[in-house]
Amino acid sequence: MTDANHSNERAEQPEFSNSAPSLSDNQTPESLGDAAQRPSIWQLALPSILGNLSYTIVGMVQTKFVGELGPQALAAVGAGQRVMFAMLAVLMAVSAGTTALVARAWGAGDYEEASRVTMASLVLGAGLAAVVATLGFFFAGNLAGVFGLDDETLAMATLNIRYLSFFNIAFAGMLILSAALRASGDAWSPLWIAAGINVLNLPLLYAFIFGRWGMPEMGVAGAAVAAGIAFSLGTLVLLTLWVRQKFRVRHVAGGWWRRQRLRQLVDIGYPAALEQGVFQLGFFIFLIVIGHNYGTPAFAAYNIGVNILAVCMTVGFGFSIAGSTLVGQNLGAKDFAGAARSGWRAMWMAIASMGLIGLTVMFYAQELAEYFIGTGLETIAYTVQFIYILGAMMPLLAVEFAIGGALRGAGDTRFPLVTTILGLLVMRCGLAALAAYLGLPVIWVYAALIGDYVLKGIMLIWRFRQGRWKTIIPDNPTY
């Protein structure tokens, strides 16, 4: 699917600096938007992988700390994370629109428009985050209650969700501004901010979970408080640097409020919001099936297994960002062949990387499960079963990350929504419900992931080969 004649393309091109280019640099708009100025896949993927790997490491440390409190605490954190991801669905939708429009403007050499889109996205995202946070705070108990957890686990999950909701606006600022920077080709600045957040998060986790260094002993809720404080400070630093014009995407005070611009953000973003909503609904249903039919140990095992294999997903997310950015920039420069090559290359690199890591995790599944759980033989056994299944699916999950990201970078957010509905809601949840109805062991419920990822992989590859994504966003929109 890749062209061998382009295998060494742009191998020696320089990295972007963090300063925003301008026409005073003796460059024309055409040269600034030329394909030769764009970074390689690895220049975008590597810092994104490293940044998200730092989050993954913190997540593993959190799992280890919370695991010392028992399987109920792990299940409570898993439920809280699932609700938090659902709350972030709207913000991820704004982020999808931000990535597509900033990358397209940057590839076309319209740097002022890229900055205006960023400002509009932040205002829109902050407003939506406030609404979602309010709902999450007041309905935390109802949201946690759908998983069928026992009373003690439910109480811990409810408190965890409330604290996460309190910090939702900080999460929004980090997510959207980081997306804008990456879409412009600057993936290193978000990396340094992420590194700082996670260096701070680690001692805060220890302090608030176990009550060390004068902090209150908060248990499961302490994990949410630690993350919230670290992200709030990181977002404050990122926004301060942006306002002081330290990034290539500049802060603009006016000119960003245009109906057409906001409409494009919404048009691209709302299918992504629906996709995230369907995604979270599917996970809710899947976990409800597990929690109600197989109990807390099987529920906890799913969340532990996901956290252990999160390093694979971190790699996939890096290639998703790279593919999304380069497809958008190439389309902005009218380089349609380059856009296609970027998507395919991101896919093959993701398959190789995630497949190798998945095999390694599968090989050490028993040892990893025992390390993170400690006690609870039933939970350990379920975790190992889940790791085998999800680890084997990493190449197909790589397709979903890379090609799904490439389509979103082109503004084609509707088709990934369709694949999520059919793969997750219909295939995975349907097979899981059937297995539970027939009284089969929980491994058959976990195995429903296979049908999900196979179907989505086939559909996404077909869509990308078809090429309709090249003309999703109209040329030269007027604001």
Whether pLDDT at 87 is above 60? yes
**Residue 111, domain member (yes or no):** yes
Q: What is the pLDDT of residue 400?
A: 93
Is the model more confident about 352 or about 60? 352
Query: What integer pLDDT is reported at residue 430 of this predicted model?
Result: 94
Per the domain annotation, does 38 fall within a domain? no
Residue type, 207: A
CB 224 within 8 A of CB 160: yes
Q: Across residues 189-193, what is the average pLDDT? A: 90
Dihedral class, residue 15 (left if φ above 0, else alpha if ψ from -120 to 50, else beta):
beta
Considering only CA atoms, which of 117, 236, 261, 118 is closest in space to residue 169? Answer: 236
Q: Total structural domains in the chain?
A: 1
Is pLDDT of 17 > 50?
no
- pLDDT at residue 397 greater than cutoff 50: yes
pLDDT of residue 475: 56
pLDDT over 90 percentage in the chain: 26
pLDDT at 104 over 90: no
Do residues 35 and 9 lie in contact, with contact meaning Cβ atoms separated by under 8 Å? no
Q: How confident is the model at residue 464 (pLDDT cuts 50, 70, 90)?
A: very high
Kindly state the greatest CA–CA separation across the chain: 71
Is residue 21 one of the residues assigned to a domain? no
Looking at residue 303, its pLDDT comes to 79
pLDDT band for position 374 (cuts 50, 70, 90):
low
Q: Higher pLDDT residue, 193 or 81?
A: 193
32 contacts 107 by C-beta, under 8 angstroms: no
Q: Is the pLDDT at 27 greater than 50, yes or no?
A: no
Q: Which residue range is the domain that position 143 belongs to?
A: 44-471
Per-residue pLDDT tens over the stretch 32-69: 344 346 677 888 888 888 887 888 788 778 878 888 88
477 pLDDT more than 60: no
> What was the pLDDT predicted at 474?
61
- The per-residue pLDDT for range 228-276, each reduced to its tens digit, is 999 999 999 999 999 998 888 888 887 777 777 777 777 787 787 788 7
State how far the Cα of 327 lies from the Cα of 339, in Å rounded to an integer. Answer: 4
Give domain status of residue 161, yes or no: yes
pLDDT at 280 over 80: no
Q: What distance, in Å, lies between the first and last C-alpha atoms of the chain?
A: 37
- The pLDDT of residue 204 is above 90: yes
Residue 99 domain-assigned (yes or no)? yes
pLDDT at 376 over 80: no
The length of the chain, given as a count of residues: 479
Residue 32 lies in a domain: no
Q: Which of 221-230, 238-247, 307-316, 344-353 has the lowest mean pLDDT?
A: 307-316
Instruction: Give per-residue pLDDT as tens, 324-346.
Output: 888 988 888 888 998 999 999 99
Assigned domain for 302 exists: yes
What does the pLDDT look like over 401-438, one tens digit per residue? 999 999 988 888 889 999 999 999 999 999 999 999 99
Select the more confidently predicted residue: 176 or 476.
176
Please tell me the predicted confidence (pLDDT) of residue 41: 82
Q: How far is CA 236 from the centre of its chain?
A: 21
Average model confidence (pLDDT) across the chain? 82
Whether the predicted model's global pTM rises above the 0.75 cut: no
| 18 is a domain residue | no
